[in-house]
Amino acid sequence: MEYTLIRSDRRTLGMQVKGTELIVRAPLKTPQSRIDAFVRENTAWVDRQLKKAEERQAKADSLGPLTEEERIGLTKIAKDYIPKRAEFYARIIGVTYARITIRCQKTKWGSCSSAGSLNFNCLLMLCPREVIDSVVVHELCHLKEMNHSRRFYREVLAAFPEYKKWNAWLKKNGGVLLERARAGEEE
Q: Give the model's pLDDT for residue 64.
A: 77
Other CB atoms within a 10 A radius of the CB of residue 113 amount to 16
CATH number (3.30.2010.10, 3.40.120.10, 3.30.390.10, 3.40.190.10) of 68-186 reads: 3.30.2010.10
Average pLDDT, the chain: 92
Q: Give the model's pLDDT for residue 187.
A: 52
Give CA–CA dist 69/67, Å, rounded. Answer: 5
Using N-to-C axis directions, what is the helix angle for 68-93 and 129-141, rounded to 10°?
A: 60
Q: Per-residue pLDDT for 175 more than 70?
A: yes
Other CB atoms within a 10 A radius of the CB of residue 108 amount to 12
The mean per-residue pLDDT over the stretch 72-79 comes to 97
The mean per-residue pLDDT over the stretch 86-105 comes to 96
Residues with Cβ within 8 Å of residue 76, at least 6 apart in sequence: none
Domain ranges across the chain: 4-63, 68-186
Q: What is the pTM of this model?
A: 0.77
